Amino acid sequence: MTNFQLTPAEMVVLDLLLQGMSNRAIAETLVLSIRTVESHISTSLGKTGCRSRLQLSLWWMQQIRSGAPMYAGRVPSLPA
């Protein structure tokens, strides 16, 4: 994997991706366009070197469990 920093917005999208949500469901939850969600996922794939949503989800789960310092800042809270 490459050296990178995920943005807070990318991390929120990845958290929802871990819940098995579709791009449309993530967009509706975060009140974003589907294209914005697709862009966050695409950018995250490029930054991490992952080749699929599944690989990205598994990688993100591993990062969360290991507490690896792979980003600057904290993940913002999701809207209620």
**In this structure, which amino acid lies at residue 11?**
M
Distances (CA, A) of 2 to 29, 70, 73: 29, 11, 19
Cβ-based neighbour number of residue 15 at 10 Å: 15
| pTM, to two decimals | 0.78
pLDDT of 20-75, one tens digit each?
999 999 999 999 999 999 999 999 999 999 999 999 999 999 988 887 655 544 44
How confident is the model at residue 73, as a pLDDT? 44
8 A C-beta contact, residue 41 and residue 53: yes
Instruction: Give dist(CA 32, CA 73) in Å, integer.
Output: 21
How confident is the model at residue 33, as a pLDDT? 97
Does the pLDDT value for residue 18 go beyond 50? yes
Instruction: Give dist(CA 16, CA 78) in Å, integer.
Output: 10
How confident is the model at residue 55, as a pLDDT? 94
